[in-house]
Chains A and B, each alone.
Chain A
Amino acid sequence: MSSPEDLTGPRQPLYQARKSVYPKAVDGFFRRLKWVIMAVTLAIYYITPWIRWDRGAYAPNQAVLVDLANRRFYMFQIEIWPHEFYYVVGLLVMAGIGLFLVTSAVGRAWCGYSCPQTVWTDLFQHVERFIDGDRNAQKRLETAPWGAEKIAKRFSKWAIWLFIAFWTGGAWIIYFADAPTLVRDFWSGNAAPVAYATVGILTATTFVFGGFMREQVCIYMCPWPRIQTAMMDEKSLLVTYKDWRGEQRGSLKAAQANPSAFGDCIDCYQCVAVCPTGIDIREGPQIGCITCALCIDACDKVMAQIGKPRGLIDYCTLDDTEIEKKGGTGTPVLKTLFRPRTIIYLAIWTSIGLAMLFTLGQRTRLDLAVQHDRNPVYVQLSDGSIRNNYTLKIRNMQARPRIVDIYIEGLPGAVVWTADGDRAFARQNVNFTVDPDAVHKVRLFIAAPEDGPARTEFTISARARTGDERGDSDTLIFERPEED
């Protein structure tokens, strides 16, 4: 590519075939870090739904459970009701700010280490190497004609992929129901159709995305690489080829013959060979780089072999790039990581987390919501007194049945009875046994003498006989007919 004029060739096609990527196995610090992260994230994903957590007789004993049918979310000792969805929103906000924090500090570390697409692709590539062999063997097999060996290798590889993919889909659904029961139902054909459909879809997407789409997902389908450019700055760590040190690149032999004319890069293409997205990092930062740092491992190994210092390809900020080009030394990593921007993100992230923990510790597990009947707002009774109707929702958010007393306060002469009860048994307060972890909806009739203001403010309060000493109350209006 010498000059643009020379390059105006025939029209290029509107689409291009995918260039196959055969990443080479590599070992080194970042590869080992990726192993650890892969093991931890996969273990969390596959094992979490099987952890049991005793919540007594009236609640499920699964540690993490998203119970969509009953609209409950359980996470260890925390139980979230639908009206407490702001905790989930808080978690999502924390996840968002966590991504800001990570991206501003270490660039696309999420992409390179812990994104499910990366983790599963990595896993699938290990399976591929186990069956087909390393990079060169894979290339040979790809071009080889279909014979017994190729068929056997292809089918065993796909079978293992499919098995992993199925396991992935299967692990997903058991987050939404009691794991042992669902697994039994699943295999006996008694699970809900949506369970089979979900497993089917997730098996297919895992198989296709992990086995075949791979880097295409990152480059063409994922919005995150596009968004992250807005979050990185010149102080974010990037996987950088230090061209000021590497160029002029040339073969080892040429460099040895004329050391002053060549840089450290011996053009061995190891960085390209190990890259899971098939790019050449020496072209500079680009959308295809997920910063998995495997090229750093590969290059460090080569540098060690030819007796040069490590880090020709290394994590480096844009600021440091400028400094090092001029011959200075870069900023220490800790100083790069802890700067005002990341500290502010960390502070926001931590304070949201602490605020959520605080409110979780403070919340009552008894809740009262009262609605005044609007049509009619009052009813004149034959003895002259006035009746107003209220619908109460008493939420008992503890996993045990509780007796809840309902008191009327601030309404002189008021009596209360339930809509399906009898006024003969009306009294000053009523009580209900509320099922564990349930909402008790009841319509109450409250009658008070006719004489009084047109609108009287009063409170209905609920107190459980066990636990939640504070109880809950609601301020309401009792309406009477206007004087003619």
Chain B
Amino acid sequence: MAENKRIDAPTGTQTVGHEWDGIEELDTPMPRWWVFTFWACILWGLGYIVLFPAIPMLNGATPGLWNWSSRGQLEQELKAETARRAPITNALAAIPVEQLAGNEKLYQAAIEGGRAAFKVHCVQCHGSGAAGSKGYPNLNDDDWLWGGDLPAIHYTLTNGIRQPDHEATRFSQMPAFGGVLANGEIDAVAAYVQTLSGKAKPSALSASGAALFANNCASCHGTDGKGLREFGAPNLTDGIWLYGGDVASIKTTITKARYGVMPRWDNRLDPVTIKMLAAYVHSLGGGEANAAPVPAAVPDPEKVAANVQP
């Protein structure tokens, strides 16, 4: 082929030497500076091979002189991020949970942190939107078994519900009335409970249930059926039914009782994360104001706020 090389007359340039159907290719010489950039790229590549992980070996690539790895870089970035957040986490650790809602900046930071932690620790039961399901409370609504202000939510998160071998845990136990009340009596109580929330109109059956309710249920659920948060006893007059508000579900609940549990988190999560989770749950739409107003400013929220990263 090489012998077919010739100089193309109009351009004065040598051809490559091959030809297909009369089409030839000019071998236009590259500008010299272009060749220099080519060499520069090769030098760059050599430097890269020496400095960075490059050559695959049996147990991973050669580490390179700079000992760089993506895992190491991630660790550094995480460390830097932790350091960047330190002012917030320190302030969150210092502030009593009663005062958190009063410190707008810190409260917002806590909500965002809680949003992330919730996705890891809470969605398994409460769902990714915190809407719960049967037996697992919806945290978006305004109904709370054990209290819905920040300190109450924080307490529930810290100590859990009905955790064995834990003194401080939220605890109560509804008796199973299956052997206590006769079947007809359970029907009557269920009918009465339905009238409390307006789900059914009073009837002869419900009227007979009223007395049974007063004797057996009112001690925890209250004479008016509005529940008692001290015992985690639900309000029976509202529109929210954790285990279902139809007659059959209510009868099952009365017969067999319910015993919902939630883990305590104080031995799994750090106090700051628990505070952030409390703030997040409180922010979902049903959070209540603190039960008793707390005297402000120890530590001074303004000073704490000044520590917060913008």
Chain A interfacial positions (CB closer than 8 Å to B): 1, 3-5, 7-9, 11-18, 213, 216, 220, 373-376, 379-385, 387, 389, 419-420, 422-423, 445, 450, 484
Interface segment out of the listed B2-10, B53-61, B207-215, B301-309: B2-10
- B:206-240 near A, CB below 8 Å: 235, 238-240
Given A375-B131, A384-B239: A15 and B6 within 8 A (CB)?
Answer: no
Cα(A375)–Cα(B285), bound, Å? 13
Are A375 and B239 also in contact (CB < 8 A) when A12-B27, A15-B29, A381-B142 are? no
Choice from B7, B32, B283 contacting A7 with Cβ under 8 Å: B7
> Cα distance A4–B285 when bound, in Å?
88
Q: B142 contacts A382, CB within 8 Å?
A: yes
Q: Tell me whether A379 and B31 are in contact (CB under 8 A).
A: no
Question: In whole angstroms, what is the CA distance A445 to B143 when docked?
Answer: 16
Q: B29 to A216, Cβ gap below 8 A?
A: no
17 A/B residue pairs, CB under 8 Å, sorted by A: A4-B6, A8-B6, A12-B27, A15-B32, A16-B32, A17-B32, A18-B31, A216-B33, A373-B129, A376-B129, A376-B131, A381-B143, A382-B235, A383-B239, A387-B285, A419-B283, A422-B289
Residues of B within 8 A of A445 (CB): 285
* In the bound complex, CA of A32 to CA of B13 (Å): 37
Q: How far is the CA of A213 from the CA of B198 in the complex (A)?
A: 87
Decide if B252 is an interface residue (CB 8 Å cutoff): no
Residues of A within 8 A of B253 (CB): none
Of B12, B34, B240, B246, which one neighbours A380 at CB under 8 angstroms? B240
Complex: A1 Cα to B31 Cα, angstroms = 23
Residues in chain A near residue B239, CB distance under 8 A: 380-385, 450
Chain A residue nearest to B130 (CB atoms) is A376
Q: Does B298 contact A (CB under 8 A)?
A: no
A8 engages B5 (CB within 8 Å): yes
Once the chains are docked, how many angstroms separate the CA of A29 from the CA of B32? 36
Is B30 close to A, CB under 8 A? yes
CB distance from B144 to the nearest CB of A (A): 9
Interface size class, chain B: 35 or more
Contact between A14 and B283, CB atoms less than 8 A apart: no
- The residue that A4 contacts in the complex, of B9, B30, B142, B143, with Cβ under 8 A, is B9
Chain B positions 260 through 289: 1 when the CB is less than 8 Å from some CB of chain A, otherwise 0: 000000000000000000000001010001
Which residues of chain B are near A9, meaning CB under 8 Å? 7
Decide: A389 and B285 in contact? CB cutoff 8 A: yes
Q: Cβ of B31 and Cβ of A382 under 8 Å apart?
A: no
DSSP majority for the A interface?
A: loop
Q: Among B34, B140, B285, which residue has its beta carbon within 8 angstroms of that of A15?
A: B34
Query: How many angstroms from the CA of A264 to the CA of B141 in the assembled complex?
Result: 96
Decide: B5 and A11 in contact? CB cutoff 8 A. yes
On whether the beta carbons of B141 and A7 are closer than 8 Å, the reply is: no
Query: With an 8 A cutoff between CB atoms, is B194 at the interface?
Result: no
Do B142 and A423 touch (CB < 8 A)? yes
Query: Do residues B141 and A382 form an inter-chain contact, with CB atoms below 8 A?
Result: yes
Query: Is there contact, CB below 8 Å, between A379 and B140?
Result: yes
Chain B residues contacting A423 (CB-CB under 8 Å) are 142
Residues of A contacting B5 in the complex (Cβ-Cβ under 8 angstroms): 8, 11
Contacting pair B7 A15 (CB below 8 A): no
Contact of B8 among A4, A374, A422 (CB under 8 A): A4
Told that A8-B6, A380-B239 touch, could you supply 11 new A-B pairs with CB distance under 8 A? A4-B8, A4-B9, A15-B29, A17-B32, A213-B33, A373-B129, A375-B128, A376-B138, A380-B138, A382-B238, A420-B283
Q: How far is the CB of A304 from chain B (nearest CB, A)?
A: 32
**Which DSSP category, helix, strand, loop or mixed, fits chain B's interface?**
loop
Measured in the bound complex, the distance between the Cα atoms of B285 and A445 in whole Å is 8
Task: Give the distance to chain A from B74, nearest Cβ to Cβ, in Å.
Answer: 23
What is the bound-complex CA distance between A164 and B219, given in angstroms? 90
**Residues of the B chain whose Cβ atoms lie less than 8 Å from the Cβ of A420:** 283
Known A8-B6, A8-B7, A445-B285; contact A381-B32, beta-carbon cutoff 8 A: no
Q: Determine if B35 is an interface residue (Cβ-Cβ < 8 Å).
A: yes
- A381 surroundings in chain B (CB, below 8 A): 141-143, 239-240
Chain A, residue nearest B287 (CB): A420
- B298 CB to nearest chain A CB (Å): 24
- Closest B residue, CB atoms, query A8: B6
In the complex, which of the residues A12, A18, A373, A383 contacts B14, with contact meaning CB atoms closer than 8 Å? A12
Which of B7, B34, B143 gathers the greatest number of chain A CB atoms within 10 Å?
B7
Residues of A within 8 A of B8 (CB): 4
Cβ of A215 to closest chain B Cβ, rounded Å? 10
Closest to B3 in A: A8
| Cα A349 to Cα B27 with chains together (Å) | 41
Say yes or no: A15 contacts B30, CB within 8 Å.
yes
Q: How far is the CA of A381 from the CA of B238 in the complex (A)?
A: 8
**In the complex, chain B residues whose CB is within 8 Å of the CB of A450:** 239
Q: How far is the CA of A213 from the CA of B31 in the complex (A)?
A: 11
Instruction: Out of B9, B14, B127, name the residue touching A11 (CB < 8 Å).
Output: B14
Q: How far is the CA of A5 from the CA of B140 in the complex (A)?
A: 90
Name which residue of chain A comes closest to B7, CB basis. A7
Give the docked Cα–Cα distance between A16 and B143 (Å): 83
Also in contact, A383 and B238, with CB within 8 A (given A4-B7, A375-B128, A423-B142):
yes
Alpha-carbon separation in the docked complex, A381 to B127 (Å): 18
Tell me, rounded to whole Å, the shortest Cβ–Cβ distance linking B8 to chain A.
7
Complex interface: chain A residues within 8 A of B143 (CB): 381-382
> How far is A4 from B13 in the complex, measured between Cα atoms in Å?
11
CA distance A419 to B142 in the complex (A): 13
Distance from B30 Cβ to chain A, minimum over Cβ atoms (Å): 4
Q: How far is the CA of A11 from the CA of B7 in the complex (A)?
A: 10
A407 to B8: give the CA distance in the assembly, Å.
Answer: 79
CB neighbours of A13 from chain B (8 A):
29
Give chain B residues whose Cβ lies under 8 Å from the Cβ of A15. Answer: 29-32, 34-35
Q: Which residues of A contact B142 (CB under 8 A)?
A: 381-382, 423
In the complex, per-residue mask of B101-139: 1 if CB is within 8 Å of any chain A CB, else 0: 000000000000000000000000001111100000010
CB under 8 Å from chain A, chain B span 179-222? 198
A425 to chain B, nearest CB (A): 13
